[in-house]
Amino acid sequence: MKLPRESPTFFSVAELGEIVGIDIDTVNNWLRHAIINRARIGGRQLRSRLFSTEEVYKAGLKNELVKLGIAPSRASEAVNAVWKEWSKKEAPEGWNVYALVWPTNDKWNIALCSQKISGGPLYKLRKGKSSEEMDLPRKAFAVIPISDVFDRVTSTLSELLGDVRNQRG
C-alpha cells in the first residue's frame, strides 16, 4: 500500500461526498470550517470547490474518526498529524496499516503500526519496516484503519473515473 500521490484529477463537492460517504451538506460544512481544503495549483488555492486526490483520502480518514464521535475539527487535526507522521512511509507488502491516535493536552499523539493481513501482533511502522512489536497506549485511543479506508476510497475513485471515461467514450 502506497501513500496516494498528487494527481492531476480534481473532484467536485458531490464527487468527494460520494467517494468518502458523506452528504453534500457535510462537505460544504467541512469546507466552511476548514476541515477540508480546496485544491491548490502552483501554491494558489482554487476558487472553485474542487479537491485534490490527497484531500479526498484525508477526508476519508477524517470521516472514520467522525463516525467514532470525534468532532470534525478535532478529527481534522488528528488526520493532519497522521499525514505528517506518515511522511510517505510505505507499508511492507502483505501488511495492513493503522494509525493509533490519542489526545494529550492540545495535540494528538500518533503511533503508526502495521499488521500482517492474516492477523497477529501490531508492529511499529518505520520507513517501510515492521520489526518491533508495539504495545497499545495506556490511555483511551482511536484506531484509523488506513489500509481499509484507502482501499475503499481507491475502489470508489476507480468506479467514478471509469464511469466518467465510459460517458466520454
Distances (CA, A) of 100 to 5, 65, 67: 23, 11, 15
DSSP 51: B
pLDDT tens by residue, 85-141:
887 666 678 889 999 999 998 899 999 999 999 999 999 887 655 578 888 888 899
Sign of CA dihedral 38, 41, 44, 48: negative
Confidence of residue 168 (pLDDT cuts 50, 70, 90): very low
Cell 488555492, residue located: 45
Please state, as a whole number, how many other Cβ atoms lie within 10 Å of the Cβ of residue 125. Answer: 27
Cβ partners under 8 Å of residue 124, min gap 6? 111, 112, 113, 130, 131, 132, 133, 134
Confidence at residue 99, expressed as pLDDT on a 0 to 100 scale: 94
Q: All 3 cell numbers of residue 50?
A: 474542487
Residue type for position 166: N
pTM of the model: 0.85
DSSP 55: H
